[in-house]
Structure 1
Amino acid sequence: MALLPLTPTLWNLTLPYMQSVVRKTHRYKFKKPDLESLRKLGKRLKNLGHFRNRYGRLLDILKTDVDEGLINTFIQFYDPVYHCFTFQDYQILPTLEEYSYWVGLPILDEVPFPGLERTPKIPVIAKTFHLELSDMKKGLDTKDGIQGLTFNYLYQKATTFAEKSDASAFETIFALLIYGIVLFPNVDNFVDINAIQIFLTQNPVPTLLADTYYSIHERIDKKRGVILCCTSLLHTWITSHLPCPKIGEECRPWSEKIMNLTPNDIDWYNPAYDTGVIIDHCGDFNNVPLLGRQGGISLNPIMARRQFRYPMKMKPLYIFLSSEFFSYEKDAKNLKDQFVKAWSSIVKLDRNQLRTRESAMWEGKYRKKEQEYDTLKNLLDQQIQANRQEKEENIRLRAALQKKEDFLDRVCPGRKKRRMDLCDGPHSDFED
């Protein structure tokens, strides 16, 4: 796969309201799932390759040790206007393509959760996870108003299947535990029906990214609370762009490390997640509408051009972006249905289209700037002409005045001397 050259030109992307502002920080909380129990259970896997082929890179996510200090610091730079992380000289944001790579699963060309699908019925759940219907009812529970299966019940069933060497059943329940406890955390030690439903759709990436954006956006607005998203994935994404391991070895607070980074320090591009195609927008939206477990929020891929070897060459304030954000409980504009409809028309762009689009965009901007230049030039030419005419008029008036003076001197000899004597003579105030 041929790589496009990375253009070195980069706008200073600092937004007006980001300049010379003392940032007030807030500390947020995160769910702390029982990773050790799941890691211990993961050692019972007999065929790691088979599990990865079925469920992606769940084991890598499970093995990730999260640095809450790093995430807390990074979140302070979230930009609620552009839905990205804005620093002094650059902006960066997690994309669908990056999350797809780190999860190890593709983004399906269909409406993601929660779209048109119905809540799965209990018999369907039992059959999918190799459970007896009568036995599964022992693990059913309702917590915080949502139905699901308890962690202890699923953990016990996974252990039993492992002891019986039922690899397929074990892998299925083990993967579900990771979905409910790590990828889509909610109530502690509980796999709720949303996580089960997302597992069944086999298209978790859009929801994972939506939960990340939505929860951060909501907590930033409230300036406190628990951020409900997969922190392991967010941590992995952040560190993938940092100049590791150097930055991790420095004995300084994360705030100092992050603030001192420049665009040249950032590891912008990883060919591993570049499939040559990106989701640019959906339906009538000029961006990508994401649906999470609690609400919807828009993703702006145009802000991530440099992460795909297409450096942004214009400041964000010149880009028209819609910034949708809503909760399912307060959706007066019926945005959820609009988001669902938009996902029925996914628009993807490859490198050639991106290049063409960039060229067309810049050609349009060049023509606009050229028109502005011509307008200003005409105004300047008019001003220069007016100044020239004024100067010529002043010269003409001075010449006429001088001509008059010369004429008066000829007809009234000594006029100039008498005038000078009047000016130079003693003033009446000084007379004795």
Structure 2
Amino acid sequence: MEKGSFDKVEDNAAVRIWAETTQREKGDSLTEGYVSELWNFTRISVTQNNLQELKEIWGQWDDEVKQLFYYHYGDLPYLLDVKVDERLFRALTQYWNSAYSCFTFGKVDLVPTIEEYTTILHCPKIRVDRIYTRPANVPAFSKKLMNITGMSEQWVTTRIKQKGDGKCIPWKNLRDLILAHPDVKKRVDVFALSIYGLVIFLKALGHVDEAIADLFDRLGKGTTPIPAILAETFRSLNACRRAGEGRFIGCTQLLLSWFHSHFWKVEKISYRVFSENYSPLKELVATPRRDDVTEENWMTVLKNLQEEDVEWRAPWMVPDEIVYRCGDFDWVPLLGVWGAVGYAPLLALRQYRSRQFTPLTYGLAQCEFTFTGNNYKKKVREISNAWNQTRKMKKFAANPMTTPEYDRW
């Protein structure tokens, strides 16, 4: 999608009336007779790539090259230093509600949002109204790699490998290119591509998947990767939750960074308030954390979580407006690199320190699909068109609170 337009901004009160009225007319996301398929324990693998070589390359660059990277790709390098607490992550997944695409802790509903992830990555070139849309006819992987790397077709084609159901390029080939490429900007680009493929959209260990190249090629045009990152995060959590086991394919580092931003009261860690040059990821990386908490203890903490334990709005998050629906969808559809899913920002208005009312979720649980076969292309076009008619809600400053109807929802 080359251009979008946030063409309507509405008051909190008007959105509340629309959402609660429509929810009563249409009903909930879950169909009548729905039986929850949540397991008491989800066996989830959080296998990560070894990022040491990426860290070493970054450490060798001077400030000028690093500033070039920050300008084009934001705070991605800090992800390399985010420690993945597998015990916390496995405990956290127990509370993922795949029907609503949110975490549910008792009466506390929370979800990573577009606005939060955009602020966390802190990239000045991101245009939030220009989302990535998978084209009907995906350009050849080799052509995309040639454009990104500046290398010849022969160099690219001899290094492409087949992994499972898709093609990819080994990290070792990208590493050698970063170290030897004469063009500084190309070194920066390939380094960023490697972070996207090895950290954010991790699929085959030690390789960058072909689906990443198409999205990455659009980043230079200001396309935002945030909806795609959220889509694959939610889809992977949904798949693991429904199956009761599986490997999480998403950015664990970003998800844990988001978690710590909302639950710092539990860990008794304070953060500075937001400023224009403030980097949430930089501070999160620099904050010492305990690594001796067992998974069972984390489960106990999360099970007994109270509303007062939550920092409803991350301390660095000060949004003026909230994207809450797109086109004819009553919520926000997200296009990833391998599939699509939807999420309802109105589920978590308290995260914006706004008044929480009953959200509209009809059809949300049924909107997930993968980019396989021929039927998905029509759905992709519908979602892409919907993002041209995005609706936002004005921020409503208040203490975190709910309407009386919310508890009966």
Question: Residue 191 of structure 1: CA displacement?
Answer: 1.0
Find out whether 1:101 has 2:143 as its counterpart.
no
Find out whether 1:68 has 2:112 as its counterpart.
no
Q: Distance in 2 between matches of 1:91 and 1:149?
A: 39
Find out whether 1:339 has 2:383 as its counterpart.
yes
Equivalent residue, structure 2, for 1:295 = 339
Q: Is the 8 A contact 2:231 2:334 kept in 1?
A: yes
- Given candidates 354, 364, 367, the residue that maps to 1:322 is 364
| Aligned-residue CA RMSD (Å) | 3.0
Aligned to 1:343, what secondary structure does the other structure show? helix
Question: Residue 156 of structure 1: CA displacement?
Answer: 0.6
Equivalent residue, structure 2, for 1:129 = 149
Question: Residue 179 of structure 1: CA displacement?
Answer: 0.9
Q: Distance in 2 between matches of 1:331 and 1:289?
A: 19
Does the C-alpha gap of structure 1 residues 330 and 234 become closer, same or farther in structure 2, counting only changes over 3 Å? farther
Question: Residue 68 of structure 1: CA displacement?
Answer: 1.2
Equivalent residue, structure 2, for 1:151 = 171
Find out whether 1:37 has 2:53 as its counterpart.
yes
- Given candidates 325, 347, 358, the residue that maps to 1:281 is 325
Structure number with higher relative contact order (C-alpha < 8 Å, ≥ 6 residues apart)? 2
Does the C-alpha gap of structure 1 residues 120 and 138 become closer, same or farther in structure 2, counting only changes over 3 Å? closer
Aligned to 2:364, what secondary structure does the other structure show? coil
Residue segments in structure 2 that go unaligned for 5+ positions in a row: 1-11, 13-29, 270-288, 398-402
Residue identity opposite 1:184 in structure 2: F
Equivalent residue, structure 2, for 1:24 = 40
Q: Distance in 2 between matches of 1:117 and 1:103?
A: 29
Q: Is the 8 A contact 1:75 1:216 kept in 2?
A: yes
Q: Is the 8 A contact 1:97 1:274 kept in 2?
A: no
Does the C-alpha gap of structure 1 residues 124 and 92 become closer, same or farther in structure 2, counting only changes over 3 Å? closer
Question: Residue 43 of structure 1: CA displacement?
Answer: 1.1
Q: Distance in 2 between matches of 1:133 and 1:319?
A: 47
Q: Distance in 2 between matches of 1:292 and 1:124?
A: 18
Q: Distance in 1 between matches of 2:87 and 2:258?
A: 15
Aligned to 1:43, what secondary structure does the other structure show? helix
TM-score (norm 2): 0.74
Q: Distance in 2 between matches of 1:281 and 1:136?
A: 41
Q: Is the 8 A contact 1:113 1:291 kept in 2?
A: yes
Question: 1:100-133, CA deviations, whole angstroms, 9 ceiling, x for partnerless residues?
Answer: 1122233532342325573256345323322233
Aligned to 2:70, what secondary structure does the other structure show? helix
Q: Distance in 2 between matches of 1:123 and 1:40?
A: 29
Question: Residue 209 of structure 1: CA displacement?
Answer: 0.3
Residue segments in structure 1 that go unaligned for 5+ positions in a row: 5-14, 356-361, 366-432
Question: Residue 330 of structure 1: CA displacement?
Answer: 7.0
Question: Residue 322 of structure 1: CA displacement?
Answer: 3.1
Question: 1:343-376, CA deviations, whole angstroms, 9 ceiling, x for partnerless residues?
Answer: 222222332xx68xxxxxx8xx8xxxxxxxxxxx
Equivalent residue, structure 2, for 1:246 = 268
Q: Distance in 2 between matches of 1:82 and 1:60?
A: 30
Q: Distance in 2 between matches of 1:36 and 1:287?
A: 40
Find out whether 1:217 has 2:223 as its counterpart.
no
Residue identity opposite 1:147 in structure 2: K
Residues matched between the structures, number? 335
Residue identity opposite 1:122 in structure 2: S
Q: Report the structure, 1 or 2, having the larger strand content.
A: 2
Question: Residue 291 of structure 1: CA displacement?
Answer: 1.5
Q: Is the 8 A contact 2:134 2:380 kept in 1?
A: no
Question: Residue 32 of structure 1: CA displacement?
Answer: 1.0
- Given candidates 285, 306, 311, the residue that maps to 1:267 is 311
Aligned to 1:264, what secondary structure does the other structure show? helix
Aligned to 1:344, what secondary structure does the other structure show? helix
Q: Distance in 2 between matches of 1:243 and 1:223?
A: 28
Does the C-alpha gap of structure 1 residues 326 and 94 become closer, same or farther in structure 2, counting only changes over 3 Å? same
Q: Is the 8 A contact 1:185 1:230 kept in 2?
A: yes
4+ aligned runs moved over 6 Å, structure 1: none
Larger Rg: 1 or 2?
1
Residue identity opposite 2:268 in structure 1: K
Q: Is the 8 A contact 1:278 1:350 kept in 2?
A: yes
TM-score (norm 1): 0.70
Does the C-alpha gap of structure 1 residues 346 and 133 become closer, same or farther in structure 2, counting only changes over 3 Å? same
Does the C-alpha gap of structure 1 residues 121 and 75 become closer, same or farther in structure 2, counting only changes over 3 Å? closer
Question: Residue 321 of structure 1: CA displacement?
Answer: 6.1
Q: Distance in 1 between matches of 2:114 and 2:128?
A: 11
Aligned to 2:372, what secondary structure does the other structure show? coil
Question: Residue 30 of structure 1: CA displacement?
Answer: 2.3
Residue identity opposite 1:178 in structure 2: I
